[in-house]
Amino acid sequence: MSAERKDIIKHINEACGSGARQSQACEIMGISAKTFQRWSRPDTAQDGRLDAHHEPANKLSELERQRLIKVANEPEYADLPPSKIVPRLADEGLYIASESSFYRVLKAQKQLSHRQKSKPARQIKKPRALIAIAANQIYSWDITYLPTLVKGVFLYLYLVLDIYSRKIVGWQVYAEESSARAADLMTDICQREGIKRHQVTLHSDNGSPMKGATMLATLQELGVIPSFSRPCVSNDNPYSESLFRTLKYRPEYPEQAFADMQTARAWVRGFVDWYNHEHLHSSINFVTPEQRHTGEDVQILAKRKRVYLHAKSAHPERWSGDIRNWNPIKEVHLNPEKQKAEIEENKAA
């Protein structure tokens, strides 16, 4: 009990001892008579209202709760949520409790989540984090649709990308999705790039051409290590997804569908030539994928750095800080761990 409250009780008791009425003394002290009486009880050093506990008059009895739980676990209701149990009971002329009461009681019994009979959720692990520090270490590939003049009929663009250099190392347009076609394309890439066994990891999604027996057998023969995204998670294969967006948002991309396979191949050939040899890619510090793939980017970026340093020395008053970062990108990550991904995101911001 606070000192102020004790003083108030003392003064009121003294006034009452001198013949004053308790109600008048309380009014003068600014409290009600009931408050004074509550304060005066020895077991109310703390406000009793803080410990007040009231049970609703319409609360289910323990017998009613047990009946509710028993009915909810009967075979015909065991896999149904309360929203379906209550109307079914009403159809049978029964009312046990409201829908909210069913939810509340079942939640307290930990019987509310996943009542429906179904297979347990599969735990699918994220693909292994990979790091490329040079060209021809990690490839990413996918297939995208190219529309034709026949509605519902498509051509299929197979495209393989080196994630370190962003160079398109191989592509082809076919009339169908095929594991054998993909295997032929990968064999051609390994021959042209001089890929040794266990040098390259090839990442893709879970499509049938990617996981087909012919493709997997060819990768094993070539010594290429396969890597796969989680089902229906496009973020696990971001480089191919980004490349397809670049391809289809080019101003030269045909507004009309491709007339035939030769037309499609001719257009893709032009795109690949532009992308590899002319496109200054922002993610590799604005050099072309071909320059990055061959290592020319080191000299190009060093020259840019010298130009900026000379400009700063000539007019230092125009520079509030250091020059622009023209250092080569040393590492490229595929599906990095969460902490690394957050660091990279903060740097980008």
Degrees to nearest 5, angle at CA 282 with 277 and 287: 40
Domain shared by 320 and 243, yes or no: no
Domain shared by 134 and 265, yes or no: yes
State which residues form the domain around 8. Answer: 3-46
Q: How many domains are contained in the chain?
A: 4
Domain shared by 99 and 211, yes or no: no
CA 20 to chain centre: 74
Domain shared by 231 and 257, yes or no: yes
Mean pLDDT of 205-217: 91
DSSP labels, 162-179: ETTT--EEEEEEESS--H
Average confidence score pLDDT of the chain? 88
Name the one residue in this structure whose structure tokens are 């793939």: 293
Question: Does the pLDDT of residue 285 top 60, yes or no?
Answer: yes
| Between 55 and 308, residue with greater pLDDT | 308
Note if the pTM is more than 0.75. no
Stretch among 113-127, 138-152, 221-235 having the lowest mean pLDDT = 113-127
| Between 164 and 56, residue with greater pLDDT | 164
Mean pLDDT of 335-348: 57
Kindly state whether residue 284 falls inside one of the protein's structural domains: no
d(CA 127, CA 203): 9
Pairing relationship of beta strands 130-132 and 154-162 according to DSSP bridges: unpaired
Contacts of residues 212-216 at CB distance under 8 Å and 24 or more positions apart, as own/partner, are 212/178, 212/179, 212/180, 212/182, 213/179, 214/179, 214/180, 214/183, 215/179, 215/180, 215/182, 215/183, 215/186
- Tell me the pLDDT tens digit for each residue of 48-93: 566 666 777 788 889 999 999 999 999 898 888 899 999 999 999 9
Kindly state whether residue 234 falls inside one of the protein's structural domains: yes
Kindly state whether residue 125 falls inside one of the protein's structural domains: no
Question: Does the pLDDT of residue 180 top 50, yes or no?
Answer: yes
- Tell me the pLDDT tens digit for each residue of 9-18: 888 888 888 8
- Residue 155 · residue 258 · CB < 8 Å: yes
Kindly state whether residue 56 falls inside one of the protein's structural domains: no
Give the containing element (helix H, strand E) for 105.
helix 99-108
Kindly state whether residue 53 falls inside one of the protein's structural domains: no
Give percent of the chain with pLDDT exceeding 90.
Answer: 61
Domain shared by 204 and 318, yes or no: no
Kindly state whether residue 52 falls inside one of the protein's structural domains: no
